[in-house]
Amino acid sequence: MPAPIRLRELIRTIRTARTQAEEREMIQKECAAIRSSFREEDNTYRCRNVAKLLYMHMLGYPAHFGQVDTFCLEPILMYFVTKLRVSLLYAGCLLLAVDVSCRAVVKLQSGNDLNHSTQYVQGLALCTLGCMGSSEMCRDLAGEVEKLLKTSNSYLRKKAALCAVHVIRKVPELMEMFLPATKNLLNEKNHGVLHTSVVLLTEMCERSPDMLAHFRKVNLVPQLVRILKNLIMSGYSPEHDVSGISDPFLQVRILRLLRILGRNDDDSSEAMNDILAQVATNTETSKNVGNAILYETVLTIMDIKSESGLRVNLNTVGLWLLKDISIAGLVYFTSPGEYALFSVLYPRRAMELSFALVNGNNVRGMMKELLYFLDSCEPEFKADCASGIFLAAEKYAPSKRWHIDTIMRVLTTAGSYVRDDAVPNLIQLITNSVEMHAYTVQRLYKAILGDYSQQPLVQVASWCIGEYGDLLVSGQCEEEEPIQVTEDEVLDILESVLISNMSASVTRGYALTAIMKLSTRFTCTVNRIKKVVSIYGSSIDVELQQRAVEYNALFKKYDHMRPALLERMPVMEKVTTNGPTEIVQTNGETETAVLETKPPHSGLQPGSQASDLLDLLGGNDITPVIPTAPTSKPASAGGELLDLLGDLNLTGSPVSAPAPQISQPPFLLDGLSSQPLFNDIAAGIPSITAYSKNGLKIDFSFERSNTNPSVTVITIQASNSTELDMTDFVFQAAVPKTFQLQLLSPSSSVIPAFNSGTITQVIKVLNPQKQQLRMRIKLTYNHKGSAMQDLAEVNNFPPQSWQ
């Protein structure tokens, strides 16, 4: 067999590769040759092959295939330094999960080589033990490591210190064994030994409070201060210089250890105050190396009991901010006055820092400062500042009145800079604060008198006036002196919003809906409201016109349904799901909707029933819809949305559905009621049986909208022919993305036995492209004490239902 190529030749060949594919081909050929060599059990070139495997590993290619064959007794026990060093290096780099026999070999050889006469062999043994030593190996060889930690050889002390760190991590109770050896570690002049010694001391202090107390008692801080002072005051040293700074790696390690020693300790903190000021003043900040040291300095100053003047010193912190280092180091500020300087130097960083400092104890004071900043800051900061205040107020609000007053101040201060997503979230807050409705609507009414330029404020105010206008007129506010307002004055305000040139289309939608809602809250102005609604039935704004036409229909054919449709919105409960909860906004309406957030590995499982059904509908072009749960069932979090799309657990128990989801663009009268506004003009569409199995039967009947021919209403009827009731019944549906679908509340969650009753539920389907309708349904219920769950494909819809 020809001799394998040398490592240098392999490196030269790989470097000539012009493409990644060519490089992979070379690696694959060489790996095949190495495998052949291992199978022939030729030990002549085994060391060379091991070296090439290490190089492939460095390039990122898999090289573990040779670990068992390579790591045998012959090369590891042969006292030729070249082969021994390669074998131990391979063990330390690659043999992290080998079998017991290989670990026994490593343990035996490491134990022998820790006492070898050659320092490089001893160093390799320490490296191998430090990389792959198990708890048993560390326990048996810790004594040898401790001896080498006391040796006078700087090379071995450096290796032994790093190996001791690994031993402590594996067997923490052996920490005290290394304590005597740490006495003289910081007296070494070799920077490598100093660096590894600081790492060892840091590990011991972090893992053991007793060790931390011991090193404070033996006064370790002055030694560290002396070393750090020598580093920053020494002249140029080519051996340790990095961009003009002497050994920045050692400086950073010392600063971290000082931070641990000075935390909550007055004496240690006082001993390091002066050196921290010198480091911050003398460190060159024009390079990243200096910024790294300054970053650690700031963290240390903020974490120990440092002098107050040191914290706000411009050279310590201001320059650090101007270099755009991470804001994370400043979260340790606790006094509002200490960050005042930063607002001058760097407004955006100061704003981010301020929000990071807000907590339940200082929220009132911090909000005053932030509201003042919001009033005077540049326009580019207003949107971020307003959103930050909303989030902080929601998290730390001491009372609901304070919360509402704060958001009112933001709405009046930030104006149109408030982001659109804030409006529905604020409406949810107001809705849930039942005892504050009268106070809120009165404040909002006074806030928009004569000024409609701040659109978010006008939208929130219009919604609240529509919901709680009766409280405004009746003067039920107890928190402040009530105002005298008539029904006509309230309508004057809303009509002014409608005709104002400053009002956006969405704002007009809020105002028109508010006027319509007041038709059930006011008693003397219903005829005026009818006139306003009829006027906007011919508006050039299509959305406004559609709303007006629908509302006008409520005054005529469906007048008996108007009080129920326009009743006050219930409390909106946030549903905890796999993703966040959002308030979905339509023109003048808001409802909660669950946002879909798939986990990183939520891919479809091959061969599953859900995957097959998903394939039938074309893969990922599915629009899922979660039904509205019956009022007697609590909302749940649920993976129902993910389940419906294929991430199913078919043996799990069913869960009730979360809050209703509204699709965009909105359907007719979305958000006002669970009852659709449709005429029975599609009586000629035949009904179909969508599902029939295990005694459960689902029938679909169809209707068409009289205002939008693209909308089809499907009424499902679920019946049960078995001898026992089916309980906790939940129906879900999904359609391709070219459709839009909304599932309304079911009539019940129990299907009576013996076909003695049915459950009805309404589905509204928007089909703008007049395509053939396909639907996937999921059924969940309890029957005979068992949780039942099934999926089905419905593709036999009559053509009249979608054409």
Determine the Cα angle at 58 with ends 288 and 250, to 5°: 35
pLDDT in tens, 757-794: 899 998 988 888 888 888 999 999 999 888 899 999 99
Q: Which of 170-184, 413-427, 681-695 has the highest mean pLDDT?
A: 170-184
Q: Which of these, 13, 78, 9, 6, lies nearest to 49 by C-alpha position? A: 6
Least confident of 173-182, 187-196, 239-248, 435-444: 239-248
pLDDT band at 73, cuts 50/70/90? very low
Once rounded to an integer, what is the mean pLDDT over residues 619-640? 40
Q: Kindly give the residue spans of alpha helices, DSSP state H, lying in 243-399.
A: 248-262, 266-282, 288-303, 308-311, 319-322, 340-345, 347-357, 363-376, 379-396
CB-based contact 576:637 (threshold 8 Å): yes
CATH of domain 602-801: 2.60.40.1230
Which is more confidently placed, 501 or 35? Answer: 501
Question: Over 80: is that where the pLDDT of 493 sits?
Answer: yes
Q: Which of these, 65, 9, 13, lies nearest to 37 by C-alpha position? A: 65
Least confident of 306-315, 563-572, 679-688: 306-315
347: its two tokens: 């407004």
Once rounded to an integer, what is the mean pLDDT over residues 690-700? 93
Strand bridging mode 688-693 / 696-704: antiparallel
Which is more confidently placed, 656 or 781? Answer: 781
Q: Alpha-carbon Rg of the chain, whole angstroms?
A: 37
Q: Average per-residue pLDDT in the chain?
A: 75
The answer to whether the bond into 654 is cis (omega within 30° of 0) is no
Q: What is the sign of the dihedral through the CA atoms of 399, 355, 585 and 456?
A: positive
Residue 394 has what pLDDT? 87
Residue 696 has what pLDDT? 94
Question: Over 60: is that where the pLDDT of 438 sits?
Answer: yes
Which is more confidently placed, 119 or 732? Answer: 732
DSSP 751: B
Least confident of 9-18, 127-136, 504-513: 127-136
Residue 112 has what pLDDT? 66
Which is more confidently placed, 309 or 546? Answer: 546
- CA-to-CA distance for 675 and 762, rounded, in angstroms? 8
Residue 515 has what pLDDT? 92
Residue 751 has what pLDDT? 93
112: its two tokens: 């022998």
pLDDT in tens, 121-166: 788 788 878 877 778 888 888 888 888 888 888 888 888 898 999 9
Residue 204 has what pLDDT? 92
pLDDT band at 110, cuts 50/70/90? low
Q: Kindly give the residue spans of alpha helices, DSSP state H, lying in 500-573.
A: 505-518, 526-535, 542-554, 562-565
Once rounded to an integer, what is the mean pLDDT over residues 522-546? 88
Residue 314 has what pLDDT? 41
Residue 35 has what pLDDT? 77
DSSP 3: P
pTM of the model: 0.41
- CA-to-CA distance for 516 and 535, rounded, in angstroms? 13
Question: Over 60: is that where the pLDDT of 22 sits?
Answer: yes
- CA-to-CA distance for 771 and 317, rounded, in angstroms? 64
pLDDT band at 611, cuts 50/70/90? very low
Give the CB-side neighbour count of residue 252, counting CA atoms within 13 A. 13
Cβ count within 10 A of residue 3: 9
Once rounded to an integer, what is the mean pLDDT over residues 26-31? 85
pLDDT in tens, 187-201: 888 888 899 999 999
Once rounded to an integer, what is the mean pLDDT over residues 469-485? 81
Which is more confidently placed, 392 or 603? Answer: 392
330: its two tokens: 């400043």
